[in-house]
Amino acid sequence: MTFNSILDTIQTYEAGKPIELVVREFGIAPQDIVKLASNENPLGASKKAIEAITNNARNAHLYPDDSMFALKEGLSQHFNVSQQEIIIGSGSDQIIEFCIHAKAHSNSKVLMAKITFAMYEIYSKTTGATILKTQSQSHNLDEFLEIYKAHKPSVIFLCIPNNPLGDCLDKAEVFKFLKEINNDTLVIIDGAYQEYAKAKDSKKAICPKELINTFPNTIYLGTFSKAYGLGGMRIGYGIAKPNIIQALSKLRPPFNITTPSLAAAIEALKDQEHIQKTTQNNLEQMAYYESFAKEKGINYIPSYANFITYLFETPLNSSKIADYLLKKGMIIRNLASYGLNAIRITIGTKNQNEKFFTLLNEFLEQK
Amino acid sequence: MTFNSILDTIQTYEAGKPIELVVREFGIAPQDIVKLASNENPLGASKKAIEAITNNARNAHLYPDDSMFALKEGLSQHFNVSQQEIIIGSGSDQIIEFCIHAKAHSNSKVLMAKITFAMYEIYSKTTGATILKTQSQSHNLDEFLEIYKAHKPSVIFLCIPNNPLGDCLDKAEVFKFLKEINNDTLVIIDGAYQEYAKAKDSKKAICPKELINTFPNTIYLGTFSKAYGLGGMRIGYGIAKPNIIQALSKLRPPFNITTPSLAAAIEALKDQEHIQKTTQNNLEQMAYYESFAKEKGINYIPSYANFITYLFETPLNSSKIADYLLKKGMIIRNLASYGLNAIRITIGTKNQNEKFFTLLNEFLEQK
């Protein structure tokens, strides 16, 4: 059987290794495995969200309210935007997919940073669009602007802070850049890690309402997967002007969120104290990662997210380090597939982080 | 902002009205509303599945095992196929989407019955493919064959039993039809309601293993949303030869199933006793719907699924009936949007069904 030729160009996304796989492959007991690979919230979800899932287990046979009225109402209040300016996705990933399918096609161009969230490229390729990338490792808006002017892409991705590197543009420079962009180019501001960035430095905070009111060609993406601790429930959201939301809604499959996920997100949003605890733990524990790196002479990228990237120099090799840690039950993300001799570690709890320091130290001393 | 012109052709899927909406619009208390509109299992999910959701609530922050090893293992044993012959989707809907995007494009054709599951057409239109439809109300394979020979579609949909009408092709006639189809046409056998059809008449049963081994250009779709009672958890599956599964897997977004959903599906599959109870209740209660229709002189379509379609004649009008019932807190599906003067009622529990009979009777006697 033949398939559309576009499939030949698509690479499957390489997710962080799940604990289940390490159990199966290395025979390590689940309780002895620490996963700091997928930027999950080490404190878990809000107790209220967990309760909402439990309370909705008996409604598992009922399709969710596909209008998602209650969640949109909550987001509408939280961000001071109207319900017509909100779309809900199965993770913000799915909203990336809607954006791409609404704007890109085989004759259009999509612009993104050299190293950024892999799904931007994967979804773009399903349309046959040409991918344009900047040269610099960090988000460089001068390069973005130069490529924009030369190629007029129909979609631009800015990941603020950037995953998997952790660097973060200032709001002021983003707004300055956006002034240069034509109204028919959709600019996607991926704020998956904004809660962490805001907590560290208010200059990084992007207010979705201000963003879309100033630049009606933008969409802000947020997620419940990171600071809200609901990565396993698959809920993200997009905030944009109603004309954009209407177009994307045509591509939203019915019932794209599960019944317990909807209930969990509604409760998680109400528990802002949990977000504060989460970002507080993140800042405190991040400091240990910075000290450890300095002490051992490892380069790192100052991070505005809930992970940190350690950059190695030969003879140190990120793949060898990742393998060593994996066999000891410590899962982190090797960034070799991004062309980097680096690893990305999710900031965990104190205990989890100490296990990481012990194991990496062990590896370094063996050398 | 302009969007891809394909969006202009897409109509949004009209889902069954959720209970939440009736609460909001008519001020009826949730406990007084009966929803027989979305073919949900009135017995709910297996207790084991509900327990699995509760037990996994505290893992809400963890991404699911994206290899879905345990669920594939369960399905592999249940259907006696290999894990390489299985793909998991966010409902079988999502696998329909993968199939369409893998095979269809703006120059190809997709063949389906005149009245069938609306998402076939909605997903097909996103690729710009031409939609071909048979003329008959029920699945007529002679018509399918004639159109196939004249137009060589790249995808054919057979819904067995058919939603929203309930009629069901025999396995023997399906296999006879498939012999005529070229190996490069993907035939999608949508078995969302097969558990119910099988329980009523073994001639309707389609075995996925036999299907794909006899016709390697087919894919069997199953779901946990209907007999398994997990409509709110969004889990479906496709069974096909490995070359097809590999192609579709390229289009699968990572983490397309939630963590509690995976756990629930694994447990639901083990509880075949619950499926037996479910199909038993369905057959028993379906008989009351047939008697009621006969008694009142209402035409109906003998159904092999968990719903029944009542066909009205003027002056009776399905929209008026649906509105009347809705205001009384009884949600059923008006089929006016399919061009029919008909309603589709999900077979509920004895109490739910009796409420329906009482209310419909009330309406009929008012006339």
Confidence (pLDDT) at A358: 98
DSSP B18: P
What is the band of A15 on the pLDDT scale with cuts at 50, 70, 90?
A: low
Establish if B186 touches chain A: CB-CB under 8 angstroms: yes
- Using DSSP bridges, classify how beta strands B130-133 and B109-112 pair: parallel, antiparallel or unpaired: parallel
All CATH 3.90.1150.10 domain ranges of chain B, comma separated, are 5-44+273-366
Establish if A255 touches chain B: CB-CB under 8 angstroms: yes
Whether the pLDDT of residue A353 is over 70: the answer is: yes
Which two structure tokens, joined as six digits, stand for B313?
A: 């004649």
What is the band of A19 on the pLDDT scale with cuts at 50, 70, 90?
A: confident
Contact call for A260 and B40, based on CB within 8 A: no
Which residue does chain A place closest to B252, by CA atoms?
Answer: A12
Confidence (pLDDT) at B176: 98
Report the C-alpha gap between B108 and B124 in whole angstroms. 10
Q: What mean pLDDT do residues A152-176 have?
A: 98
Domain B5-44+273-366 has CATH 3.30.1360.80: no
Instruction: Give the whole-number percent of chain B exceeding pLDDT 90.
Output: 91
A244-287 confidence digits (pLDDT tens): 999 999 999 999 999 999 999 999 999 999 999 999 999 999 99
CB proximity under 8 Å: B 191-220 to A: 216-217
Confidence (pLDDT) at A20: 80
Q: Which of A229-238, B25-34, B284-293 is predicted least confidently?
A: B25-34
Mutation site, A258, A274, A282, interface B, largest B CB count within 10 A:
A258
**A77: distance to nearest CA of chain B, Å?**
18
Contact call for A10 and B104, based on CB within 8 A: no
Whether the pLDDT of residue A12 is over 80: the answer is: no
**A229: distance to nearest CA of chain B, Å?**
4
Whether the pLDDT of residue B18 is over 90: the answer is: no
Q: CATH assignment of A47-270?
A: 3.40.640.10
Confidence (pLDDT) at A232: 98
Which residue does chain B place closest to A240, by CA atoms?
Answer: B1
Whether omega before A315 lies within 30 degrees of 0, making that bond cis, reads yes
**A290: distance to nearest CA of chain B, Å?**
25
Contact call for B69 and A20, based on CB within 8 A: yes
Q: What mean pLDDT do residues B329-333 have?
A: 95
Q: Which of A21, A90, A216 sits opposite B65 (nearest CB)?
A: A21
From the centroid of its chain, how far is CA B118? 10
Dihedral over alpha carbons A171, A173, A174, A180 (to 10 degrees): 150
Confidence (pLDDT) at A243: 97
ipTM of the complex: 0.95
What is the band of A16 on the pLDDT scale with cuts at 50, 70, 90?
A: low
A168-208 confidence digits (pLDDT tens): 999 999 999 999 999 999 999 999 999 999 999 999 999 99
DSSP B32: G
Report the C-alpha gap between A348 and A351 in whole angstroms. 8
- Residue found by looking up tokens 């036999």 in the block: B210
In one-letter notation, the amino acid at residue A288 is Y
Q: Which of A87-91, A126-130, B238-242 is predicted least confidently?
A: A126-130
Collect all residues with Cβ–Cβ distance below 8 Å to A155 and sequence separation of at least 6: A99, A100, A103, A104, A108, A109, A110, A111, A124, A129, A185, A186, A187, A188
Spell out which residues of chain B touch residue A91, defining contact as CB-CB under 8 Å. Answer: 253, 255
Spell out which residues of chain B touch residue A97, defining contact as CB-CB under 8 Å. Answer: 253
CA–CA distance from A97 to each of A124, B110, B270 (Å)?
8, 23, 34
Strands (E), chain A: 34-35, 86-89, 109-112, 130-133, 155-159, 186-190, 218-223, 236-239, 299-301, 307-311, 330-331, 333-334, 342-346
Whether the pLDDT of residue B33 is over 80: the answer is: yes
A37-73 confidence digits (pLDDT tens): 999 999 999 999 999 999 999 999 999 999 999 999 9
Spell out which residues of chain A touch residue B119, defining contact as CB-CB under 8 Å. Answer: 253-254
Confidence (pLDDT) at A283: 98
Which residue does chain A place closest to B24, by CA atoms?
Answer: A69
Beta partners for residue A342, in sequence order: A311
Q: What is the pTM of this model?
A: 0.96
All CATH 3.40.640.10 domain ranges of chain B, comma separated, are 47-270
Whether the pLDDT of residue B6 is over 90: the answer is: no
Beta carbons of A257 and A60 less than 8 angstroms apart: no
Backbone angles phi, psi at A24, to 5 degrees: -65, -45
Spell out which residues of chain B touch residue A51, defining contact as CB-CB under 8 Å. Answer: 57
What is the band of B16 on the pLDDT scale with cuts at 50, 70, 90?
A: low
